[in-house]
């Protein structure tokens, strides 16, 4: 790894230190080189866009593609020969997030017919129940890792129930997702992809035999004139929804509670007026959103951003955290302020791939935060908040753990 990085000396490296000091490092990039070539820890060269206006425009730019097979080819060409050339263009990858127009338009239109605003809103009482039950079940409230005990199980239970995933298989699913997202061991990756696919096939077959009032049945039944989701598309879409439901909202809750603990006067304001919760969630998304960069895009043709030309066939990361903390768009961006108007942040992306689960994620986070505020107004950190460790990932921005005392 180190030899790859040295081979491209002079470029900043997206490494552990970068993740640990994300706000400062993003601020440096924004002010000096808003469109910056960087090297990932695997030695891959990418272009990182960090200013709000550029990032927003890039997210809606059809010259930046997401087609899985083409992206894989570009990634492989960009990785040094001795690096591990993973394969993410697997059978689980034929979903909308890996497609460009017009394939994306077709698939998203079908999925939206099943994943409706009404279906999400109808989950509200059930999410409240799951959230309360998780908080009740914490045995010792004096020292709790909020991520494991609450922020992770909440969204995973919700999406598993929405889809109809068997409770006994949820741990398996968590293990497969981790292996697939981590993608560091080729053999383990293949095994996880095969196991996850086999389970999706089984799940879909069960719903075909016994239709239920759940999201998989709705996806099976979704029609647009004569068109519908193929078996392969169903499998990949269910997988995408499960993964998206597993890895993101947990960090919205975790990162947001950390920001509130670091700004006790904001916590006190929420305790005094829980009606501020929806605004607080928007500020949590803006300030420390769960996705560091957008997922990978590749340049289909040359593009110009911030006065810099990026040739065709390059990998681009659109900085969602960096853009959402740009002082040109949000005054004093490093000040966490639940009373500011945080709308317009890029945490859910922008353009055709704007997060399909945004309404669900907001609902879950609002319910979680409201219950924490109302039940545990004296919530406080266990240990020093200066020592918190961020997970090392080029995609997800989340904490390794968040220890709190939930004294009532």
Tell me how far, at minimum, the Cβ of 150 lies from ligand HEM, in Å: 15
Q: Which is nearer to ligand HEM, 354 or 389 (CB)?
A: 354
Closer residue to ligand HEM in complex, CB, 239/376: 239
| 206/295 with CB nearer ligand HEM | 295
CA atoms within 13 A on the CB side of 382: 13
The residue nearest ligand HEM at its CB is 357
Residue of 322, 315, 317 whose CA lies nearest to 346: 322
CB of 286 to ligand HEM, least distance (A): 11
Minimum CB distance to ligand HEM, residue 360 (Å): 5
**Quick one: DSSP state of residue 315?**
E
Q: How far is the CB of 294 from ligand HEM (least distance, A)?
A: 4
For residues 135 and 375, the answer to whether their CB atoms sit within 8 Å is yes
Q: Residue 114: which residues within 8 A CB-CB, separation 6 or more?
A: 215, 218, 219, 221, 222
Closest distance to ligand HEM from the beta carbon of 299 (Å): 15
> What does the binding site for ligand HEM look like in residue numbers (CB under 6 A)?
59, 96-97, 108, 159, 240-241, 244-245, 248-249, 252, 289-291, 294-295, 320, 347-349, 352-353, 355-357, 360-361
Taking the complex as a whole, how short is the minimal distance between the CB of residue 10 and ligand HEM, in angstroms?
Answer: 28
Three-state secondary-structure class, residue 260:
helix
Task: Give per-residue burial for 107-129: e unless 16+ CB within 10 Å, then b.
Answer: bbebbebbbeeebbeebeeebee
| Vertex 303 angle, CA 34 and 28, to 5° | 5
Q: How far apart (Å, rounded) are the C-alpha atoms in residues 247 and 330?
A: 26
| Residue among 4 and 287 whose Cβ is closer to ligand HEM | 287
Identify which of residues 245 and 319 has a Cβ nearer to ligand HEM in the complex. 245
Given the complex with ligand HEM, which of 91 and 271 has the nearer CB atom?
Answer: 91
């Amino acid at each position: 790894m180190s030899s790859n990085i040295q081979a491209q000396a002079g470029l900043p490296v997206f490494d552990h230190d970068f993740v640990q000091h994300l706000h400062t490092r993003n601020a440096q990039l924004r002010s000096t080189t808003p469109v910056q070539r960087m090297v990932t820890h695997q030695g891959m060269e990418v272009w990182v866009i960090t200013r709000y206006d550029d990032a927003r425009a890039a997210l809606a730019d059809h010259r930046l593609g997401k087609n899985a097979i083409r992206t894989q080819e570009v990634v492989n060409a960009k990785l040094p020969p001795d690096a591990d050339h993973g394969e993410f263009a697997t059978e689980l990858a034929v979903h909308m997030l890996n497609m460009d127009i017009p394939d994306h338009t077709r698939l998203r239109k079908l999925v939206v017919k099943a994943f409706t605003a009404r279906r999400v809103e109808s989950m509200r009482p059930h999410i409240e129940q799951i959230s309360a039950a998780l908080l009740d079940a914490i045995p010792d409230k004096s020292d709790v890792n909020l991520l494991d005990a609450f922020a992770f199980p909440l969204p995973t239970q919700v999406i598993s129930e929405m889809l109809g995933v068997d409770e006994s298989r949820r741990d398996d699913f968590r293990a497969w997702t981790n292996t697939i997202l981590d993608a560091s061991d080729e053999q383990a990756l293949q095994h996880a992809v095969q196991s996850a696919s086999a389970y999706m096939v089984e799940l879909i077959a069960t719903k075909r035999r016994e239709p239920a009032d759940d999201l998989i049945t709705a996806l099976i039944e979704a029609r647009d004139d004569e068109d519908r989701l193929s078996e392969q598309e169903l499998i990949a879409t269910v997988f995408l929804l499960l993964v998206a439901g597993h890895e993101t909202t947990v960090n919205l809750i975790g990162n947001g509670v950390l920001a509130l603990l670091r700004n006790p006067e904001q916590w006190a304001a929420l305790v005094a007026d829980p009606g501020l919760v929806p605004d607080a969630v928007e500020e949590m998304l803006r300030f420390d959103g769960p996705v560091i960069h957008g997922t990978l895009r590749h340049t289909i043709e040359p593009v110009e951003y911030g006065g810099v030309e990026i040739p065709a066939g390059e990998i681009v990361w659109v900085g969602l955290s960096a853009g959402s903390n740009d002082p040109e768009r949000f005054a004093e961006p490093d000040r966490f302020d639940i009373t500011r108007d945080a709308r317009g942040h890029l945490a859910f992306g922008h353009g055709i791939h704007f997060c399909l689960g945004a309404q669900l994620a907001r609902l879950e986070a609002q319910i979680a935060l409201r219950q924490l505020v109302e039940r545990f107004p004296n919530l406080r950190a266990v240990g020093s908040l200066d020592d918190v460790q961020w997970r090392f990932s080029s995609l997800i921005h989340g904490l390794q753990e968040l220890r709190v005392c939930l004294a009532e």
